[in-house]
Amino acid sequence: MRLLPALLLVLTPLSLALPTSISSPVSAIDSPIEERACATTCGSNCYTSAQITAAKNAAVNYVKQGSTAGGSTYPHVYNNYEGFNFPVSGPYYEFPLKESGTYTGGSPGADRVIVTKSGSLAGEITHTGASGNNFVGCTGTS
């Protein structure tokens, strides 16, 4: 019977050191799941809300400065020939959406973020799956 109190003395400090919930150690190490989840998917490319916001902010800064990224033509006016139902009014500007980093020139890839000069996000579109030089909406853009 003396074994039980001795065992409790050994185990009690260990149990107090354990996390109280399973999410505590994960959230302290990793970023929240929401930040890693796809906010939109263009073709097979997944973009987080942070990536979309970075592209949107870069585009708006270039538009307000009257400049473009790395000698490219981006951002430039997007005429919405495809007739997307964006939740905000134009005029619209298109800017490349990159899987890694923010576009600074060179090949733009297939994916775009659509913004207004005032900084509103209109949506995300892609050439992937579209015919010719047209666009189709990424998930969430119709």
Strands in the chain per DSSP E: 40-42, 45-47, 76-78, 92-96, 111-116, 121-126, 136-137
Distance, CA of 142 to CA of 26 (rounded, Å): 36
Query: Of 34, 94, 99, 124, which one is the catalytic site residue?
Result: 94
Strands in 38-120 per DSSP E: 40-42, 45-47, 76-78, 92-96, 111-116
The pair phi, psi for residue 26, each rounded to 5°, is -70, -45
Query: Of 76, 82, 99, 124, which one is the catalytic site residue?
Result: 76
Is 99 a catalytic site residue? no
List the catalytic residues: 76, 94, 127
